[in-house]
Structure 1
Amino acid sequence: MNAEQGHLTGHDQAPALGVAQSRLASVGQRLLKEGISLLAQGDRTGAAQVLARARSERDTLLQAHALIESNDLGGSFRNIMGLDCTISSQDDIFGFFAGHASSTNPLRDYLADGWRTLSELMLLLEAVDQPLLHTPSVLEFASGHGRFTRHLVKALGPGRVTVSDVVPDAVHFATQTFGVQGLMSASVPEQVQWPQRYSLVFVLSLFSHLPRSTWARWLKVLWDAVEPGGLLVFTTHGVKAAAFDHVTLDEEGYFFAPSSESTAIDGQEYGTAFTSEPFVLARIEETVGTKSLVHQSLVHFWNHQDAYVLRKR
């Protein structure tokens, strides 16, 4: 090795390594770093522009989104929607949107989906003359990381909302982020203890995931959470969803597969279930009585989940 070669491989080695490492960093990571630097310098306009570009990269989407939202920068969803748009990195539903081929803007799709759910719930409650805004207390059961909760809080305020989920991080995130009351659920239905009864118990897409062994048991336990005169609203994967997924129901009108979008719950406990209308009506009759059913709307939520409304007389 001559002196020139020694100079190139020794003295210039650190700069060359730095260049190689920068090349390994993704576009999103470089933009994220630049945005953080601009924030530190007090350049909010520049940071907003750079972080908006980082937000369009899949690997830095949530990190950039969190910085934009927490610093209330231009282009934040909070400024557009008027609610807390913080999203947990552990949110399986957001992960579903982010990984779905049809979702070109996962943030927008995720947040808009929660707003759509709110409007569909309000329509359902209007049909039974119990407007959501006049509802004193709501339990959102199987609430996850707040896809719907944030919109419910905007409508009612945090004081009227309680969330419950079997995933501890989901309950913690919702209570800390949205200011609602939190209640841990359990894998065994009968182990859940209700601290009070609620005017509305809303159970979105839980019965569309339950195995046969706990389906009716959860219905009974959730019915116990409803105050006299109150409502239980729950949804199912009905025959339209079954046909779309090419699922054949058994003689009772039921099908279960031990898999779902959740990475936090065992598939045998929380998989994917499809039920016919007769199956659901039979479970209502044997568990809480058919007189409790005051309304049903097939293919109501998200254009593929059936909705059932029960009133405790």
Structure 2
Amino acid sequence: MLPSDNSGFHVSTNKMTAIHELTPTLGQQLLQEGCDLLARGAREAAAQVLARARDERDVMLDAHALIEANDLIGSLRNVMGLDCTISGQDDIFGFFRDHHSSRNPLRDYLADGWRTLSELMVLLEAVDQPLLKTNRMLEFASGHGRFTRHLVKALGPSRVVVSDVVPSAVDFLRSTFGVEGFLSTSLPESVQWPARYDLVFVLSLFSHLPRATWSRWLKVLYEAVAPGGLLVFSTHGIKAANFDHVTLDDEGYFFAASSESTAIDEQEYGTTFTSEAFVLARIAETMGADKLVRQVPVHFWNHQDAYVLRKL
């Protein structure tokens, strides 16, 4: 819940942009005007001004938070039918906001989560284990909820559990979406699973892991799956490697100590590319090749390969 002043309108605490600088930007001026209009109860005028502020990248998230919290005209919640609150600490949103190709970072960010939901549902239908019939799932390496908000709309919060190594991410998902959540660790073997899950979904973690922990995370995450359940994970495969002009080593592996995350050490969370042969070899030596029930190249975002393992 966002705090409010005694005028009754909500004020964002998510990295609220300083609006009293000697030479405020256009975005800061619009944000201040919107706040003033809200304080006077002029909701329609405030909505128009804050919609303009939302187009200015330096105050985009602040303006968005005010529009959403006050349920103003132009609220994305009213368009998408789900909670569109975005954390100011969300590195993935920051990636969209700062990327030159993103014309509308808010919509791109929210649509990307919806796209992931549809791609996961297609993958699960192919192995006759539909998402909507999943009793309990774990979204591991969940971040600040790009995908979680869509899962909650599809399954309800009681069937979704999240985990991340960043404390603020887990706290945000618990308080915003009402899901259960627990903190992960840097060392795979130190993770304590509260339960076993019908589906463990790990999107774009193995595309960031160094060689020292790649197989170890695969083993540990497979242990979190209930009998008959599925582990679904994605990787940067050959298409991604070619796109980024990366040369894999003899094993079919490449790691660079760099990523979009500002919260995790780049040596333990960088950018990783793997060949299909590398991934299949790790599956075979870790839990057995017979556990693989489906693999689809460039399935997620037309960029990452998908692998589905079943716990027998």
TM-score over 0.5 for the pair: yes
Amino acid of the structure 2 residue aligned with 1:29? Q
Q: Is 1:149 aligned to 2:151, yes or no?
A: no
Give the alignment of 1:1-313 within 5 angstroms: 24-313=23-312
Over 4 Å off, 4+ runs: none
Give the SS at the match of 1:24.
coil
**1:178 positional shift:** 0.4
Amino acid of the structure 2 residue aligned with 1:127? A
Amino acid of the structure 2 residue aligned with 1:88? S
Residues 37-84 of structure 1 show CA distances to partners (whole Å, capped at 9, x for unaligned) of 111111110110000001000111000000000011110100000000
**Distance (whole Å) between structure 2 residues aligned to residue 271 and residue 32 of structure 1:** 36
**1:23 positional shift:** 6.3
**1:212 positional shift:** 0.3
**1:22 positional shift:** 7.2
TM-score by length of 2: 0.93
Give the SS at the match of 1:58.
coil
Amino acid of the structure 1 residue aligned with 2:234? T
**Distance (whole Å) between structure 2 residues aligned to residue 97 and residue 25 of structure 1:** 24
Q: Among the aligned pairs, what percent are the same residue? A: 76
**Distance (whole Å) between structure 1 residues aligned to residue 22 and residue 54 of structure 2:** 20
**Distance (whole Å) between structure 1 residues aligned to residue 27 and residue 194 of structure 2:** 46
**Distance (whole Å) between structure 1 residues aligned to residue 21 and residue 64 of structure 2:** 23
Root-mean-square deviation over aligned CA pairs: 0.8
**Distance (whole Å) between structure 2 residues aligned to residue 44 and residue 228 of structure 1:** 53
**Distance (whole Å) between structure 1 residues aligned to residue 230 and residue 309 of structure 2:** 6
**Distance (whole Å) between structure 2 residues aligned to residue 196 and residue 187 of structure 1:** 19
**1:150 positional shift:** 0.2
- Aligned residue in 1 for 2:13: none
Give the SS at the match of 2:59.
helix
Amino acid of the structure 2 residue aligned with 1:104? R
Give the SS at the match of 1:59.
coil
**Distance (whole Å) between structure 1 residues aligned to residue 207 and residue 231 of structure 2:** 16
TM-score by length of 1: 0.93
The structure whose residues are more often helix, as a share, is 1
Amino acid of the structure 2 residue aligned with 1:51? L
**Distance (whole Å) between structure 2 residues aligned to residue 166 and residue 154 of structure 1:** 24
- Aligned residue in 1 for 2:5: none
- Aligned residue in 2 for 1:7: none
- Would you say how many aligned residue pairs link Structure 1 and Structure 2? 293
